[in-house]
Structure 1
Amino acid sequence: MLRPPAPRVSDSAPDVSHVRRTTLPGGLRVVTEFVPSVRSASVGVWVGVGSRDEGPTVAGAAHFLEHLLFKSTPTRSAVEIAQAVDAVGGELNAFTAKEHTCYYAHVLDNDLALAVDLVADVVLNGRCAVEDVEIERDVVLEEIAMHDDDPEDALGEVFLSAMFGDHPVGRPVIGSVDSISSMTRAQLHSFHLRRYTPERMVVAVAGNIDHDEVVALVREHFGRRLKKGKDPQQPRKGTGRVGGRPVLQVVQRDAEQTHLLLGVRAPGRHWEHRWALTVLNTALGGGLSSRLFQQIREARGLAYSVYSSVDTFSDTGALSVYAACLPERFDDVITVTTDVLDAVARDGITENECRIAKGSLRGGMVLGLEDSASRMHRIGRSELNYGQHRSLSHTLEQIDAVTLEEVNAVARNLLTRQFGGAVLGQNATKRSLPQRLRRLTV
């Protein structure tokens, strides 16, 4: 039986006392974390819009728009935006994912007002000028080419397509050469106006800051956007059930190594056993002591890079294994990988592996929150994904509450499912793949 999660602890836990939340008119949420030990401030505007919100004809629009908004606003050119942040030694950037886009700035605490001003100006007022669209189109096409030149990046896109097919989470965040080449300024501008609405946004700020000051700055710079009534949120595209079955896709590519990604579908981030899945992933291939790393690299020297990972979306996900090796060692890598997966599915992990994995997760989580930027990302994601802030104490308690029996039940559940995968290499064809791999993915 799969074990239910531990009960939620109260938000009165010590590390929550510095986190505050305010909802402004129109549904805009402001969440802050006061970190007294730093002299910095990190500001992020999180928009609950990503590549899965796109129709097929505008694939890559969310990422294209993220680039475009930095080009100019009514009061600043791209050069002036860059100069403003460079003049204070700060950082201004953004990223797009399947389900959200984040625009962020990292500055000294004295420059908080400038950071809020810059990020809000870009997100709300980016002009999407025709001339900027054409320039940035070339930049995005160069980025697509760069990803295609990196075997691991290219393989990752093929893998998600193999796992999820035509479902929006299976499409590349960056779009395709065809979709980017044909996208118009009108489509991008419309995407910006329709999707970037206050109820989809979270302003997350962490560092040596004051919550009330942040709220006042957000009110000032979001201005008229907050006066509007809350609009009904448009439904997310592609929220339906992922259909079909995972498949095996093969890409021939001139590369020194053969690259493999092999995985199974998993439930989304709201799954009650997600922490047991995280422990399983860590024990399987998440560290130097993990079973895959020890068996493939340390014991046999078959590969330099080997690891497992979890992709998690709102309603689905994947547990996967990656390895890259010389072509003549590929059959051996497949044999060892499938032996490990079969053994864990059948017998589970050991008590010692479970203990080490939980310790690795606890330590990594705490050490990863020692700067304001990482804390901003944590509270922003938490608010956007769950609508609340889960304290670090609560998260650590959830990890501690995971039992060996729960982890092994998750392993039996997931690792006996239909596998899918992707292989990229110089002489890779489906016929050339080891029988063991073909049987696993049929």
Structure 2
Amino acid sequence: VLDGHPLSLPILGTNNSLKNIKKSAILDYFKEKFGIGGIVISAAGNIKHKDLIDKIKKNISGMENRKYINDFTGQEPPENGRVKKIHDSKTSSVHMCFGGLGCRRDSEDKYPISLFTNLFGGSMSSRLVQKIREEEGLAYSIFSSNVQYLDTGVTIIYSASSPKNADRILKLIKDEIVDIKRRRVNEVELERAKENLKGNIVLSVEDMSSRMFRLGKGLLFNKKVLTINQILKKIDKVKQNDLNNIVDKYFKLDKMSLVALGRLNKGRLL
């Protein structure tokens, strides 16, 4: 999906790139990027703000106090069209990932696409789970989600099943996409998705690491942190038509790609 975009590159690099990195290059990069002005420190839990500041001051005395210049401009993802990659593996199950391009972090589609992937395959009451797992009994696991980056995003539909069910599962996924485009999202499933997504967000506040990461990401990416109530209000504002636009915009079957791992008939899938 992201072939040709920096996000498609391996995070750890390759054997050749790692062999050719010199110590001086690492130190130069550290000096350039890791100044006090470019670091966000986030903390949550049983700690007082003043105590945290005092501890930080004691441990950053050796770092340079320079302003960090963020020169990241992003890059538009390439239009790669539909791609199919099948990896033969002697596993007892088949893992499939079907998806395409999504929205970036600051897009107005941020909350609508999260609600759509929730009602489509993000909860036990979602369309894919009810159809493929509960009614048909074809998959051990089936879900949809989306990932948002600074300059682009991806949509994901994942399933794990026995090899004999893979073709049928992929057909049902496509059928559900066609069906929701034809009959559109209804008010009942939209409200159910809203309550599910809001519930997950509220519950995540109880986990200190989730709270810490939310605060840090907000400051790092958006220069501000939305309160939980602000996020819930944004979710409540999403309308049926917003989700219908999402499925038309991001779930085009002729642009969605497939990656599968397992014992498969390469000529049949997709």
TM-score relative to the length of structure 1: 0.57
The letter of the residue matching 2:95 is H
Quickly say closer, same or farther: Cα 1:293–1:177, change in 2 above 3 A: farther
Instruction: Please say if residues 112 and 242 of structure 2, whose CA atoms lie closer than 8 Å, have aligned partners that are also in contact.
Output: yes
User: Number of aligned pairs?
Assistant: 268
CA distance in 1, matches of 2:149, 2:68: 25
Which residue number in structure 2 is paired with residue 412 of structure 1?
248
CA distance in 2, matches of 1:194, 1:370: 37
1:368 aligns with 2:204: yes
SS across alignment from 1:270: coil
1:169-318 equivalent positions in 2, closer than 5 A: 169-180=7-18, 182-225=20-63, 228-233=65-70, 235-236=71-72, 239-246=74-81, 247-318=83-154
What's the C-alpha RMSD, in Å, of the aligned pairs? 2.0
Structure with bigger RCO (C-alpha 8 Å, 6+ apart): 2
Quickly say closer, same or farther: Cα 1:390–1:341, change in 2 above 3 A: same
CA distance in 2, matches of 1:257, 1:175: 29
Q: Which runs of 5+ in 1 are unaligned?
A: 1-162, 438-442
Quickly say closer, same or farther: Cα 1:205–1:337, change in 2 above 3 A: same
CA distance in 2, matches of 1:345, 1:416: 10
The letter of the residue matching 1:394 is Q
1:422 aligns with 2:264: no
Quickly say closer, same or farther: Cα 1:253–1:396, change in 2 above 3 A: same
Q: Which runs of 5+ in 2 are unaligned?
A: none
Q: 1:398 aligns with which of 227, 230, 234?
A: 234
SS across alignment from 1:202: coil
State the 1:251 CA deviation: 1.8
CA distance in 1, matches of 2:44, 2:158: 34
SS across alignment from 2:56: helix
Quickly say closer, same or farther: Cα 1:427–1:403, change in 2 above 3 A: closer
SS across alignment from 1:304: strand
State the 1:253 CA deviation: 2.2
Quickly say closer, same or farther: Cα 1:178–1:343, change in 2 above 3 A: farther
1:10-21 equivalent positions in 2, closer than 5 A: none
CA distance in 1, matches of 2:19, 2:186: 52
SS across alignment from 2:77: coil
The higher radius of gyration belongs to 1
CA distance in 1, matches of 2:166, 2:68: 54
State the 1:400 CA deviation: 1.2
CA distance in 2, matches of 1:223, 1:402: 47
SS across alignment from 1:307: strand
CA distance in 2, matches of 1:385, 1:307: 27
